[in-house]
Chains A and B, each alone.
Chain A
């Protein structure tokens, strides 16, 4: 219901504006008092009375205002104003052309259609508003001293409301009390952002310690907060208590309208924002109006139509003036004097005539075009919605078109900007391998398992395609068999793939838990590591048993156990069991530690407590503390450390070491543990976290419970261990890491576990001078990290730090200060976190695989073949991104890669400059032909017809796209996006076939899109799945959201929402192409049709003294467009398929048709106009001569012309229609029948009406006239002969690619497949050999390489340029392959000063190799070779002070692991 509220709350604009006006007197904040204080005052003095109440009204109109308001809105459209103007002009007697009432008909028709549509929509909104307004909630009533049921609409700002579990919030409410012992309240925000995980909200701090029930009557504080705004993630304010104390309010205290209360029995809050001022309502912006490119183009031509119209009118007016003038004083008998009986001067009558002609020729501006386009678009949207191929069975979702008016833009895309994670990949993070203490555990079995998923996917697809029976190969291992059985039960769908069926099953089992498909959960442990873990824990167990200090454990073993503990607890994963779904789920604290006050610290860490054994867990002790020490009376007392310190000192719940080992902490008994029988479920906010927890569980190190202040972990041999959770420093994107501070139950040390991006963690590692072992670990781990990244894995480093009590106390002191600070709290907390996370000890690193979605490489390949430039904008690190890019065929092995990494503006400028030079030198001068040839080879599919050149389509831009990839990182991107550099950047980027922007922020993403869109004037499509893609999606011409695992924010912002990336192929190549070509053809046809019809009357002006007379009856004139010729074009515009879906997908090149706007080019408009004029000449003059010298009367002559025009127009449509379904036939038949029926009825209806034409019995007589039939045969044919001849010649002699596609369609499917495969072979043959320019490169001696680098760097420094990072990797070599790689380091003529990197790889050393089971034994073969071979890294320190050049040559003694950029961290 709340969802509906959102849907319907689209139009709040004017309302809100009005309410805003009311509150001008308030300044910047809103002050909320409790309403109960003012109940008797009847609202007069209630300070809240100015605020919006909770009644929502999303309707636009009331009964009274509907007509004027709706008309007013419709007149915003220029066309409507024009038509009304024309209609009104008809009421002026001197200029009128038609019966005024009749002239109104089309306008009224169109306005009323729109009005009815609006009315219906408004009614729906009204109904849902009513429903929402009448929902119930509990509001505190002062009179009755209890909570009473009220309607939502009666809730006002300042009311206290009580919320129960699973209730929907009626307004934005400040949480004052919760039944939860931790004073928390959980909400589900699915209706706001689509995220199904629970969010945690906290009671306002001053009410935190209130133990008894909250009593509203005692509340007397004042709340001062921000004015209503639409930022869901921000809320700031103060609560001012009577005693003058102020407390900060944060977004954690605010419950938002539309959310659902979960897991909290009862909560009480005060309404802060109500109705339209709630954040949810302010966020409803309604559907966006975008104007498609086609429509923009069309509007230009509409403008031309206006010009043509004016020219024609002017011509007629001048002609009329002259005609009048020639008679002079002689009064012909047929002349009509002015009403006064005087003669009108020729000039005056010319002016009048001009206006009359505008009325007569009004049809030239296609009145029905706008309506027709809308109808066609709605139909197109319907068909896209209905497409089975775009339906995802797993999630039961299909494509959603959220923007209704840009379907044809899909067919004209030129650039695609894609997010990576969740868009190209599944966002299913799977633990893949790890390294602990410098030792790599390759997890081969795990790799095989993942490979198996892959295999089974394809296998199943195969099975399905062969008749749908599921026959399994025997080779499936036992590990898989259970799953296979399960899967084979679901054989219904013909398109379902293995892992997806499975995922579906999984989603049934655990409906709400994200990131928990079997693939993500079932991790096969590495036997070696598993052994070590077992050994380690048994030793620990032994030591514990014998009360030996834990520090005796060998350091590598302790590292292992620490590593897994860190994996298990350093996260915010919530544990629940399927038996009690979400009953008592404990969630994390964001940046908030369970150690809340200094007294907590003292309480917990005083020595007495450590030594004296007590049995209470800290959590329970805290609660008892609260209740015993603070009564309700002390709620508002300041929690000053001094006052309570002494008090708390008395109570020291002692706690023994042995108790930490107690298998079951007392307060958990029977609750969480009951879940043991069922499988524990982990609810994680990010998939990485879940993956790591599942990984740890595979090593029997499982997270079994989490409370705000305690994490329970089950370890082998050791049983359950409870870690006292002292602080959680949540993840944020600036720090790129998170930490937990716990007290280790075994060693009783205060330990910090940190997990984060390798780039940051590595910098925070304690300098390796401490020991050889440590240094080695760091060194090796770094190497493995590089390896993982090269393998396309997401890497995380795990580190720990042990704090002494003093250190901790010192830190805590300042941390608490930060926490209690009111101003700049977030910054202080951030600094506090920075202080803690230093001097870490590296434990290990993990590699998580994010699998590509099904069909991504194929989709990208075919989109690229379709001429789309694909840019990937990702937040991932460079290596990961590059390798994913290889995996999804974004980069191809034979491509050169230009890497731009700079750390200053100047360096960036220089890099761009050099790259540009390089590209020019390389491609434009030396091998323009070559490049062109390479590019053209993409069109080879059309070389079946040698004479058909691949059309000029490829040259839309002066730049040719080279086989070149550009990789740029976020920092460099920031420089490149600078005003001065953006042109250069674009020049470089546009010549590259693919561009990869790594480490880019959401803002950068949108800036890139904006830049490309505005500067290159191209059509852009942005696709993404997460909140970080929203800005990009909004900026692009077409935004596509993936309705994946990361919530709905991207979808909400998008124009189209897809369930999976691969559907983009069909959406663009098929639906986009169709929509575009249909609409383009329809628009052109419309222009033609109207021009043709109007021109008939124009020609007649030459024979009627330019008097504005029409031989076509006014009825026909007006209804010709609206009725007689309307339906066939709608049918064609909706259903016509120029090429079948199969061929469009097999020949993506056909998409270029739309990219280059080939269906609707400016000259086509004029060609159509000329054709229209020609056709109208034929339609006019054939009857003219045929009836010359006869006694034919005006309308007996005009009606055949109308009929002929209709036939011609319909036949014209017939020529343009590519596929004739029965609906086309029916519509054309219907049109003709309708015309004759209407004509016959009209001509028989009234003998004396319809002045001046008065066409009584005309049609009836015509039908008896053989001449009429003779004309009907010859005229359309003569009129269409040129077009038909042109089409026939074009189709036969010079077929366009689309026509070739159509001809392919006609062939039997076997033949077609043969031809297509043939053409592919051709393409392959041309693409196979490496681009010729590479052959210019000579093999590069190793030492030369080195020297060269040096000289280069010197030259750089000589130029005074600091900072460009140069990376020259000779990747083509692998140790297995020996040194025989023909591809040396690529080296251009200007190589000495070229600051870019060429990464050339051979096809067979494709870096991203999904490790096939079998030859994973040797990791070197399976890992990408990016980091192998010679790698030289030259860095200039960004500071610019020192001119020293550090470069490292990889050492040969560490085989294969020689990437050396860790200590200089070139990418960040």
Chain B
């Protein structure tokens, strides 16, 4: 008892309190570093080659249709004063463009990631809340109310600037134009289409928009976006959804359609094609560019050789470093190998 009192202040003798926890001490010595680098380098080179080859097999067809140059088929449409301009972009494939083919439109120098632009939307409104139909979120300013103080639905800059060029692809078969069927379903994220964006549960949909106005730049209201498919209207319109998902970088592409049906199930056969473009979207005033992209995809997405090259470079760097170290090491002959 007395003994215990005497040592009341005695610290606990445990590995933790005495800082004697068993520990692994990695030591960056040549013996570990050099083989380590070699192994990592080789592995990376392997991955790099695989990635590179995969990427190499992807076919991409890109056409700019902004119409800046005089000889461009869409030159006539680039004048902002022309309305409802349609231009044709012809191209030919000399071999089968393997399917499924993804058809993108691309914009350059377009800052969808501009901070104020990104804020300018009302997610509640887009999820179908009628309260927000009548009084859209503050964030939508100045696309919140129109000049008559009527609420804009969908409000905000993002919705307002919806990309409204439309495309039709024809294959020229023996001089005749054969429409290539586009698959417009499922181009947007499933969660966007089914969870995040909802139309108000009012039928007909049009009634929900009573007392509101369409965005200033729009030619038709939201409930009439796709006349062909009533289910593809309102906020769950696929093109609208794709647009609303803001691109990360100023040069971006967005999926427009997929070619998965009919004769083109296996891709676009070799031949001549004509793309009919309803040229509506003005990009020239901010030096933007518009393009269309046909591409097929691999397991790792679209064509991008960068990652494969990166792996190869880093892998080789590792190997080179290990060699350098080996040379230096051999030259100095350090005694810690004794």
Contacts and interface: CB of A to CB of B under 8 A. Distances in A.
A1220 B314 contact: no
Given A1278-B310, A1291-B28, A391 B142 contact: no
B325 A1184 contact: no
A1292 B11 contact: no
B116 to A, nearest CB: 4
A1270 B300 contact: yes
Contacts of A1103: 113, 249-250
Contacts of A1251: 119, 121, 123, 137, 139
Most A CB within 10 A of own CB, among B21, B114, B248:
B248
Interface in A1168-1221: 1182, 1184-1198, 1218-1221
Nearest to A1278: B314
A1287 interface: yes
A396 B8 contact: yes
B278 interface: no
B42 interface: no
A479 B150 CA distance: 110
Interface string B260-291: 00000000000000000000011001101000
B248 A1198 contact: yes
Contacts of B8: 396
A391 B10 CA distance: 7
B302 A1189 contact: yes
A1290 B336 CA distance: 14
Contacts of A333: 160-161, 217, 281-282, 286
A386 B123 contact: no
B12 interface: yes
A122 interface: no
A1103 B247 CA distance: 11
A1191 B196 contact: no
A339 B3 CA distance: 79
Interface string B16-33: 011101111111111001
A398 B11 contact: yes
A386 B11 contact: yes
A235 interface: no
Contacts of B214: none
A327 B329 CA distance: 58
A1247 interface: yes
A1221 B23 contact: yes
Contacts of B170: none
A244 interface: no
B117 to A, nearest CB: 5
A1254 B248 CA distance: 14
A1141 B255 CA distance: 62
Given A335-B117, A336-B157, A1188-B306, A1111 B325 contact: no
A78 interface: no
Interface string B93-135: 0000000000010000011111111111101101100000000
Contact of B28 (A339, A397, A1192, A1287): A1287
A1281 interface: yes
Nearest to B299: A1266
A341 interface: yes
Contact of B317 (A97, A341, A1218, A1281): A1281
B85 interface: no
Q: State which size class the interface on A falls in.
A: 35 or more
Contact of A330 (B192, B249, B286): B286
A1289 interface: yes
Nearest to B187: A1191
Contact of B248 (A1187, A1247, A1271): A1187
A1274 B249 contact: no
A791 to B, nearest CB: 36
Given A1193-B248, A1194-B247, A1196-B248, A388 B286 contact: no
Contacts of B12: 386
Contacts of B92: none
Interface residues of B, number: 96
A1257 interface: yes
Interface string A957-998: 000000000000000000000000000000000000000000
A1265 B22 CA distance: 39
Interface in A840-899: none
A331 interface: yes
Contacts of A1198: 248
A637 B88 CA distance: 129
Interface in B128-178: 137, 139, 141-142, 157, 160-161
Contacts of A1193: 245-248
A1142 to B, nearest CB: 11
Contacts of B123: 1247-1249, 1251, 1254
Nearest to A331: B285
A1184 B252 CA distance: 12
A569 B118 CA distance: 95
Given A1191-B247, A1247-B196, A387 B114 contact: no
B52 interface: no
Nearest to A344: B116
B84 interface: no
A1104 interface: yes
Contacts of B120: 336
Interface in A390-408: 391, 393, 396-398
Contacts of B137: 1251
A1048 to B, nearest CB: 15
Given A1109-B115, A1198-B248, A1277 B304 contact: no
A804 B216 CA distance: 123
B21 A1223 contact: yes
A1194 B113 contact: yes
Contact of A1189 (B26, B195, B250, B304): B304
Interface in B1-50: 2-3, 6-13, 17-19, 21-30, 33, 40, 44, 47
Interface stretch (A606-614, A1234-1242, A1298-1306): A1298-1306
Interface in A1293-1333: 1293, 1302-1303, 1305-1306
A1104 B29 contact: no
Contact of B332 (A386, A947, A1223, A1265): A947
Contacts of B28: 1284, 1287-1288, 1290-1292
Interface string A357-387: 0000000000000000000000000010111
Contacts of A1187: 248-249, 304
The list of the 9 closest CB pairs from A to B, nearest first, reads A332-B286, A1197-B248, A1219-B23, A1109-B115, A1291-B28, A386-B17, A330-B285, A336-B116, A1185-B306
Given A1111-B113, A1188-B249, 19 more contacts: A332-B285, A333-B217, A335-B114, A393-B10, A396-B7, A1107-B115, A1137-B19, A1185-B307, A1188-B251, A1194-B118, A1218-B26, A1220-B24, A1221-B23, A1261-B189, A1281-B317, A1288-B325, A1291-B28, A1293-B328, A1302-B25
27 contacts: A97-B115, A327-B286, A330-B286, A335-B157, A336-B114, A337-B142, A387-B11, A945-B335, A947-B332, A1104-B250, A1185-B306, A1186-B307, A1188-B304, A1189-B304, A1190-B253, A1193-B247, A1195-B248, A1220-B26, A1248-B123, A1265-B301, A1270-B51, A1273-B47, A1274-B311, A1288-B28, A1288-B33, A1292-B30, A1305-B25
Interface of B: 2-3, 6-13, 17-19, 21-30, 33, 40, 44, 47, 51, 104, 110-121, 123-124, 126-127, 137, 139, 141-142, 157, 160-161, 189, 191-192, 195-196, 217, 242, 245-255, 281-282, 285-286, 288, 299-304, 306-307, 310-311, 314, 317-318, 321, 325, 328-329, 332, 334-336
Interface of A: 97, 327, 330-341, 356, 383, 385-388, 391, 393, 396-398, 492, 504, 508, 944-945, 947, 1103-1105, 1107-1109, 1111, 1135, 1137, 1141, 1182, 1184-1198, 1218-1223, 1247-1249, 1251-1252, 1254, 1256-1257, 1261, 1265-1267, 1270-1271, 1273-1274, 1277-1278, 1281, 1284-1285, 1287-1293, 1302-1303, 1305-1306
